[in-house]
Structure 1
Amino acid sequence: MNTQTRPVSEINRQATHILFKEMGVVDTIRFLNQFSVGQGDYTKERHTWLNDISMNDVISQIKAEKK
């Protein structure tokens, strides 16, 4: 067991290398993307495009899609 403190950048490099080796590139990228912070403020943006839609409008759209 290694008890020496290493820089986080070194730990990240080693962890990424292990993931690539064991899981492959695609699955590693999919795994790491879960932890990305993203951009913007989803809550504010959601209000701008949902502000004028009522619950009845949503229900009507759902029913129309089912037909």
Structure 2
Amino acid sequence: MNSQAMTLEQVRQIGITALAHQLGVVGMIRFLQQSEIGWGDYTKEREGWLGTPDLNDLFDAVKRSEKMN
């Protein structure tokens, strides 16, 4: 089956079936729970890490990065 021609629902169903087949039902559930468990507020944390740079700050960072490579 061509994955590009499938709907997102079809991809999801095939993925869940493959996980259940390879990991068993309990393993599949444990795997799916990993991506659903979260804590904190990523948006606020990200702003703390990056601040609120303006477009010029971002442009300067890209230029510095290009010079390093």
TM-score normalized by the length of structure 1: 0.48
TM-score normalized by the length of structure 2: 0.47
Bigger share in helix? 2
